Amino acid sequence: MASHQNYKSQSIRASVRDATSASVVESPRIWFQRHILISRLPLEVCERIIDCVPSLKVADNSAHENNKLRRNTLVACALTCRAWLFRSRHHLHFSISIYDKVEFDHFVALLNQTPEIASFVVHLTTGTRAQKDKLQEWSHLVPFSLASPLSKLQTVLFNNCDWRNLHPSFLMMTAQFTSVTRLTLQELKLGSSRELVQLIFSFSSLLELTVRGVECVKNRSCTLRGRSKRCLPLRYLVFRRGLMGYPLLPMLEETSSNHLLTSMDIELTPEEVELQAVGKFLEGCVSLRFMFFCFKLSVNDIDKGLFKHLTLAKSTQLQRLKFELNLSVSNMALLVHMLSTVSVPTVTEIFMRLWDGWNPNPDDKIKTLNSFDWSLLDTVLSSPKFRALRGLCIEVGYLRGYALRSMLECSLPKLHKRGVLVEELDFERWVSSSDFKF
């Protein structure tokens, strides 16, 4: 009995001693380190997870809600610990969008308070969202406040800006964007075409230029002098809606800024001066590989005598062609003419999208298609200069399936026999390629 009580008292003392020892009684921090941090993920894995946040989205959410979700998630990551701060900042400030004066003032104040943030900014989008915002135009202040601090900026997009009364110093400040390689001008209003030319040529390192819906009050020829007359190393060029090819294209051609172009997307109108400008510009595009033509012509818009201005003979590296045009005799004739001027058998894929207004009636479309002389197109594309052609895809508005396929097989017998008629082409591969964009 005594021995049993002695053993019990020894067990109790041992339990108390173990419970009060240093190995058991630990601070919460030490316990967390022993049980949690020992098995934590490497920093590289955490950074890869943070890299996935910019693509985070909820299917039922709007674009604005998804943007807010991504931003809040990145802010939470930045506040988690110092190790996550750098990567989170990188994604938080990688692409900046400023659409009103309040956002602009806030961002400028943030740069003054935390200058190191400027090194993370690579893409900048600025402009106004609505017409009423133009009453308080502020976007002309962007170069004055941001050109100097944003030394690693690569992409600039100016959207919906009214610059009809620009101060001459504006163009001097845009010249300080020396690191910018991609410029997009969208829905702008300028006082003259000279200002447009000067604005574009002020970006000395420009590789990609996109111009959509630019309106110039005075559209006339101009010349550049001195340091502003430089050769831009352009690789990618887009001209769409509202922009007159004259006089910008002649200026690009005069400075040999078209010699290195590999991809071009351009909209053609029936104006003779524009067709001449585009034709002369194409003569210098000796490195062109991908070309997208959008024809804004109708049946009686253009005289066939003007076709001579448009030729692809000098573009000896062409690989892919895309055409978008309304169904009309003049458009089809111009299309056949341009294809007939190809001089080297390097073209591998051709895509054509034909529109006939918004008429969804397939019988009307078949009737319109049968009125064309498809034998000319069949003969041109079956010639030796197109022996490398692997795929020809033709889309006609709402017309799909068997009706379109059977019509094309009957209208293009030589191409059908070669087996180059396809129902679709892999455009995602075109877009994702480093050499081709549209």
* Whole-number Å distance between alpha carbons of 106 and 222: 38
Q: Which of 341, 354, 332, 237 is nearest to 291 (CA)?
A: 237
Q: Identify the three-state secondary structure at position 163.
A: strand
State residue 413's pLDDT score: 93
State residue 226's pLDDT score: 62
Convert the pLDDT of each residue in 309-363 to its tens digit.
Answer: 788 999 999 999 999 888 777 788 888 999 999 999 999 999 998 876 666 666 7
Q: Is 0.75 topped by the overall pTM?
A: yes
State residue 23's pLDDT score: 46
Output 130 or 166, whichever has higher pLDDT. Answer: 166
Among 51-60, 146-155, 188-197, 293-302, which range has the highest average pLDDT? 146-155
Q: Could you tell me the CA-to-CA distances from 343 to 256, 274, 291, 319 in Å, in that order?
A: 22, 23, 15, 12
Domain 261-438 sits in CATH 3.80.10: yes
Q: Identify the three-state secondary structure at position 390.
A: coil
State residue 19's pLDDT score: 40
Q: Which of 239, 238, 235 is nearest to 261 (CA)?
A: 235
Per-residue pLDDT averaged across 35-50, rounded?
A: 72
Per-residue pLDDT averaged across 410-420, rounded?
A: 92
Give the residue extent of every domain in the chain: 261-438
Q: Which of 217, 203, 214 is nearest to 238 (CA)?
A: 214
What's the order of all strands across the beta sheet hosting 162-163?
162-163, 189-192, 215-218
* Whole-number Å distance between alpha carbons of 139 and 133: 11
Which run of H or E residues covers position 414? helix 413-418
DSSP summary character for residue 41: P
Contact 340, 313 (CB under 8 A): no
Q: Is 397 left (phi over 0), alpha (psi -120 to 50) or beta?
A: left
pLDDT band at 434 (very low <50, low <70, confident <90, very high): very low
State residue 378's pLDDT score: 93
State residue 8's pLDDT score: 46
Examine the pLDDT at 33 and tell me if it is beyond 90. Answer: no
Output 373 or 273, whichever has higher pLDDT. Answer: 373
DSSP summary character for residue 399: B
How many residues are given for the chain?
438
Mean pLDDT of all residues belonging to the chain: 80
Examine the pLDDT at 223 and tell me if it is beyond 80. Answer: no
State residue 369's pLDDT score: 77
What whole-number percentage of the chain has pLDDT above 70? 79
Q: Identify the three-state secondary structure at position 307.
A: helix
pLDDT band at 228 (very low <50, low <70, confident <90, very high): low
Half-sphere exposure of 39 (CA within 13 A, CB side): 5
What whole-number percentage of the chain has pLDDT above 90? 29
Tokens, residue 361: 């009636």
Q: Could you tell me the CA-to-CA distances from 118 to 104, 127, 149, 220, 342 in Å, in that order?
A: 14, 20, 6, 39, 47
Convert the pLDDT of each residue in 163-177 to its tens digit.
Answer: 888 888 898 899 999
* Whole-number Å distance between alpha carbons of 279 and 310: 4
* Whole-number Å distance between alpha carbons of 326 and 374: 16
Q: Output the CA torsion sign for 225, 231, 234, 237.
A: positive
User: 336-365 burial, b if ≥16 CB within 10 A, otherwise e?
Assistant: bbbbbbbeeebbebbbbebbbeeeeebeeb
Examine the pLDDT at 127 and tell me if it is beyond 90. Answer: no
Contact 333, 302 (CB under 8 A): no
Output 139 or 435, whichever has higher pLDDT. Answer: 139
* Whole-number Å distance between alpha carbons of 190 and 222: 15
